[in-house]
């Protein structure tokens, strides 16, 4: 399993076209998504995300009203203080808020640990989004492939899934 972030990024970027072809093959052959979920769960159980925390450095997280309430309750401060201290307006969605970034990471990241782990937003709890969901894998697999560079779990799950599906580059099996 590859866990070095620089290597994951290099390999994921070099395999962008291959991953696109693989996604097309899966769609064309109606390959089942359950094997991917099983592989991803196995890989996720083998990984210690506190050794990486790259997602907390690379992604911006929406702060919904429910997330603000949960954080406020956890920190024992009013929601208005959470909004003022820890969020910024979302420039792409007026009226929405994002968790503030500080030192090129989530405001709540301390080293590789989340200071509000028990109250973290849903997007953080669900990341890397490889578990089974009511939405089909096909509707999310392209975003998983796009994010393979930032998460060793995603990268390794996709690579193992290719092997399981009998995929080789250039579509040859």
Q: Which range has the worst mean pLDDT, 1-15, 68-82, 137-151, 153-167?
A: 137-151
Q: What is the mean pLDDT of the chain?
A: 89
- pTM of this structure: 0.83
- pLDDT tens, residue by residue, 32-62: 888 888 898 899 999 998 899 999 999 999 9
- Name the residue ranges covered by the structural domains of the chain: 5-55+128-171, 60-124
Residue with tokens 């969605």: 93
Instruction: Tell which phi-psi region holds residue 38, choosing left (phi > 0), alpha (psi between -120 and 50) or beta.
Output: alpha
| pLDDT, position 133 | 56
Cα 139–chain centre separation = 15
What are the distances in angstroms from CA 114 to CA 52, 99, 124, 168?
12, 13, 10, 38
With a pLDDT cut of 70, the percent of the chain lying above it is 92
């Amino acid at each position: 399993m590859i866990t070095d972030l620089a290597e994951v990024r290099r390999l994921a970027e070099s395999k962008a076209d291959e991953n696109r072809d693989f996604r097309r093959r899966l769609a064309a052959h109606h390959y089942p998504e359950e094997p991917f979920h099983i592989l991803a769960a196995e890989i996720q159980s083998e990984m210690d995300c506190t050794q990486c925390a790259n997602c907390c450095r690379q992604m911006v997280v929406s702060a919904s009203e429910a997330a603000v309430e949960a954080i406020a309750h956890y920190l024992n401060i009013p929601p208005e203080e959470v909004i003022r201290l820890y969020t910024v307006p979302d420039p792409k969605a007026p009226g929405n808020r994002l968790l503030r970034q500080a030192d090129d990471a989530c405001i709540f990241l301390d080293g590789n640990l989340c200071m509000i782990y028990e109250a973290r937003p849903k997007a953080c709890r669900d990341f890397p989004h490889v578990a089974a969901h009511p939405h089909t894998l096909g509707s999310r697999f392209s975003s998983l492939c796009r994010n393979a560079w930032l998460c060793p779990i995603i990268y390794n799950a996709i690579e193992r899934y290719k092997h399981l599906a009998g995929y080789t580059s250039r579509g040859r099996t």
